[in-house]
Structure 1
Amino acid sequence: MSGGLWVVIPAFDEARGIGATLNAIAAQRDTDFRVVVVDNDSSDGTAGIVRTFAAAHPVPVIEVISEAQKGTGAAADTGMRYAIAQGATRLARTDADCLPAPDWIERINAGFDAGLRLISGQLIPRTDEGVSWRDRTIIRVALEVASAFGKVRSGNRDPKYLGPYVMTPGCNMAITAELYTAAGGFPRTAIEDLHEDRALVNAVRTITTDYGLRRDVRVYGSNRRVRAWGIRKTLAWYADHRYRPEIVDIR
Structure 2
Amino acid sequence: MSKLWVVMPAYNEEHGITGALAALAAQLDRDFTLVVVDNNSTDDTATVVRDFASEHPWMRIELIEETQKGTGAAADTGMRHAISRGAVRLARTDADCLPTPDWTTRINAAFESGLRLISGQLIPRTDEGVKWVDRTIIRVALEVASTFGKFRPGNQDSRYLGPYVMTPGCNMAITAELYEAAGGFPRTAIEDLHEDRALVNAVRTITTDYGLRRDVRVYGSNRRVRAWGVRKTLAWYADHRYKPELVDIR
1:207 maps to amino acid = I
State the partner residue of 2:235: 236
Alpha-carbon contact 1:6-1:90 (below 8 Å) kept: yes
1:50 maps to amino acid = V
CA distance in 2, matches of 1:159, 1:26: 43
Matches within 5 A, 1:186-225: 186-225=185-224
SS of equivalent to 2:122: strand
State the partner residue of 2:101: 102
SS of equivalent to 1:88: coil
State the partner residue of 1:185: 184
Q: Does 1:89 align with 2:105?
A: no
CA distance in 1, matches of 2:205, 2:120: 20
Alpha-carbon contact 1:31-1:59 (below 8 Å) kept: no
CA distance in 1, matches of 2:102, 2:34: 16
Shift of 1:60: 2.3
Which string of whole-angstrom CA distances, capped at 9 and with x for unpartnered residues, describes residues 69-103 of structure 1? Answer: 00000000000000000000000000000000000
State the partner residue of 2:41: 42
State the partner residue of 1:22: 21
Matches within 5 A, 1:167-182: 167-182=166-181
CA distance in 1, matches of 2:56, 2:27: 12
Which string of whole-angstrom CA distances, capped at 9 and with x for unpartnered residues, describes residues 189-239 of structure 1? Answer: 000000000000000000000000000000000000000000000000000
**Matched length:** 250
Q: Does 1:73 align with 2:72?
A: yes
Shift of 1:139: 0.5
CA distance in 2, matches of 1:51, 1:5: 21
Q: Does 1:62 align with 2:61?
A: yes
SS of equivalent to 1:245: coil
Shift of 1:58: 1.9
CA distance in 2, matches of 1:191, 1:141: 23
1:139 maps to amino acid = I
State the partner residue of 1:11: 10
1:37 maps to amino acid = V
Moved over 4 A (4+): none
Normalising by structure 1, we get a TM-score of 0.99
Alpha-carbon contact 1:166-1:212 (below 8 Å) kept: yes
For the aligned residues, what is the CA RMSD? 0.5
2:94 maps to amino acid = D
CA distance in 2, matches of 1:7, 1:58: 17
CA distance in 2, matches of 1:131, 1:199: 30
State the partner residue of 2:148: 149
Alpha-carbon contact 1:26-1:59 (below 8 Å) kept: no
> What percentage of residue pairs aligned between the two structures are identical?
79
Bigger mean CA offset, 53-62 vs 222-231: 53-62
Which string of whole-angstrom CA distances, capped at 9 and with x for unpartnered residues, describes residues 87-123 of structure 1? Answer: 0000000000000000000000000000000000000
Segments of 5+ residues of structure 1 without an aligned counterpart are none
